[in-house]
Amino acid sequence: MSDLRVTDTQSFSGAEIGALLDRCFEGYAVPTRFTPEMVSVLARTDSIDPDRSLVAWRGEAPVGVVLWCQRGRRVRLGPTGVVKEARRQGVGRFLVEEFLRRARDEGAERVRLEVLGGNTGAIQLYEGQGFRSLRRLNGFRVDPARLEIEPWEVEPWEAEEVALMMDRRHPDAPWQLEGESVLALPETYRAVRFDSALAMVAETETRGVIRAWTTGRSADGVECGHRLLSGLLCAEPKRTWVFPPIYPSSVIRHDFEQSALIREALFQYEMEWRP
């Protein structure tokens, strides 16, 4: 669209980008607030590049944003949105086209993204630009009824070791489960281990979030996973443990899901574009 132009996001403060993202995610299925703290955490965990991230402008008004994440020649199309009053006017298409043109020019080997399974508008936008769906990323709740709850001793571990094992055991993990993301998690997360099962977890009084998870391949690995969950549950039985919807079936295998977890309705598709 000829009345649109783009700039990078370098001149925006964290608070300004957060405020623009808040407007662009108005009405989103998962209510999200992009506080300056959250923007800075995202910048680190997702490897966001402010020089390459794009803001779309109509006249003097910012109307859309797409954040550019980069690791080597691998690029991820990060949080993307258009302010409510400018939707369905070609701004999203303009931004994604511009993003992919630049990715191609810069020699990206691939661009991936994640999109909520029910976000049909966004999925159509991405498919229209040549993205194809690679796999589903699922979220889960731990089902205490199916675990033998015993106070297995959960060892404190090193985030570096969890990151290393994520990369070694899951070389094609989604962006947010790559070692680099794991290593950059904020201090609210701690590394834990039971034998071959490793995880990064964060807890409040009532809720625990498992933000990285790997058990190893053998049947033994599944058992270690059960014991790790069981140990975490024992520490505070009222806490509900959840896996956010970032896990492919190569990381949370079917046998483990069947024996310990309840699949949440919310899921994402991971999509890929190649130049």
Question: Given candidates 124, 204, 218, 240, which one binds ligand COA under the rule CB under 6 A?
Answer: 124
| Token pair for 220 | 């033994």
CB of 113 to ligand COA, least distance (A): 7
Residue 137 interacting with ligand COA (CB under 6 A) = no
Sole residue written with tokens 């909520």: 116
Residue 122 interacting with ligand COA (CB under 6 A) = yes
> How is the chain split among helix, strand and coil, in percent rounded to 5?
35, 35, 30
Q: What is the CA radius of gyration of the chain?
A: 20
Q: Which is nearer to ligand COA, 145 or 265 (CB)?
A: 265
Q: Which stretch in 85-93, 135-143, 167-175, 249-257 sits in contact with ligand COA by CB under 6 A?
A: 85-93
SS3 assignment, position 67 = strand
Query: For ligand COA, which residue has the nearest CB?
Result: 92
Residue 90 interacting with ligand COA (CB under 6 A) = yes
Q: How many residues does the chain have?
A: 275
Question: Given candidates 17, 20, 24, 165, which one binds ligand COA under the rule CB under 6 A?
Answer: 24
CB of 84 to ligand COA, least distance (A): 8
Phi, psi of 124 (to 5 degrees): -65, -40
SS3 assignment, position 184 = coil
Q: Which stretch in 82-90, 225-233, 234-242, 245-253 sits in contact with ligand COA by CB under 6 A?
A: 82-90
Residue 54 interacting with ligand COA (CB under 6 A) = no
The letter for the amino acid at 236 is E
Q: How many CB atoms lie within 10 A of CB 50?
A: 15
Q: Which stretch in 43-51, 80-88, 191-199, 214-222 sits in contact with ligand COA by CB under 6 A?
A: 80-88
Residue 121 interacting with ligand COA (CB under 6 A) = yes
- Inter-residue contact 69 to 21 (CB < 8 Å): no
Residue 130 interacting with ligand COA (CB under 6 A) = no
SS3 assignment, position 244 = strand
Residue 267 interacting with ligand COA (CB under 6 A) = no
Distance between CA atoms of residues 52 and 30, nearest Å: 26
- Inter-residue contact 34 to 17 (CB < 8 Å): yes
Q: Which stretch in 22-30, 67-75, 232-240, 245-253 sits in contact with ligand COA by CB under 6 A?
A: 22-30
Residue 273 interacting with ligand COA (CB under 6 A) = no
- Inter-residue contact 190 to 200 (CB < 8 Å): yes
Residue 218 interacting with ligand COA (CB under 6 A) = no
For ligand COA, the binding residues (CB under 6 A) are 24-25, 28, 80-82, 87-93, 115, 119-122, 124-125, 128
